[in-house]
Amino acid sequence: MNTRFCLIRHGETDWNAEKRVQGQIDIDLNATGEAQARALADALGEHDFAAVYSSDLARAWRTACIAVEARKIAVSPAPTLRERHFGVLQGLTAAEAGMVNPTAYRLHKERAPDFDCETGESLNRFAVRVLTGLASMAQRHAGQSVLAFTHGGVLDVVYRAATGRAIDAPRDFTLGNAALNWLDYRAGNWHLVAWADSRHLRATLDELPG
C-alpha cells in the first residue's frame, strides 16, 4: 500500500546564511526562517495528513510547530530525521574547514561513503538511519499521507533513493529551506512526485523589516 510523504527542510538559520556546517549542533531559526515557516502554514492548508513528524533539533521542530499550529495536530519527535553528524566539520564554514582540517574537508567534498568526519556519521550509516526510519513511518501509515520536517542531508538521501543516484555522486539537485518535497513509498521503493516547490516563499521577504 502506498504512503505519501511531504518532506520539508527547516526554515533558514543564521548558520545557513553563513554557509556554516550545522550538523547536529542545535541552531534555531532566524527571522527569515520564521517567516518561511509561516508561509508553509498557508501552502499546506489544502492538504490533509494522518501524522506530523519532526527532527528533534530546534530549527526543524520550530518550523514544524509554526507550520501546523492551526491544525490541532500534534507534532511527534523523530530522531531518525535529524541531520547527519558532521563530526570535526560541525560549526565550520568551507573556508575554515579547508584550513583547520584539509583532509577531512577533502573527503567530505568527495562524498567518501565510509568517512565519518572523524567523530560523526558516515554517509552510508546516515543513509541507513534515515531510510530505515522513514520505512517504519510508511509501514505505520500505509495508505495515508505523512508530513515530516527535517534537514538538507535527509532530503539528499531520500532524493537519491527515489532517483537511483549513488550516495557518492555529486549533488545536482536543490535542497531549499522550507520547500515542499513530495514522494511516495511503496513496497520498499521510493517514487519522486514533486521536488523543491517553493512558490509559497515568494512573498516571504515582504514580511521582514527593512
Enzyme catalytic residues: 10, 83
Cα(172)–Cα(182) distance, integer angstroms: 18
What are the cell numbers at 122?
Answer: 558516515
Which set of grid coordinates corresponds to residue 167? Answer: 550516495
Query: Measured at the alpha carbon of residue 205, what is the angle toward residues 199 and 210, in degrees to the nearest 5?
Result: 170
User: Exposure of 183 by Cβ count < 10 A (0-12 exposed, 13-18 middle, 19+ buried)?
Assistant: buried
Strand segments (E) across 38-188: 51-54, 75-77, 145-150, 180-186
Helices 123-140/152-163 angle, 10° precision: 80
Count Cβ atoms below 10 Å from residue 189 Cβ, excluding itself: 9
Return the amino acid letter for 126: F
Among 1, 23, 5, which residue's Cα sits nearest to residue 13? 23
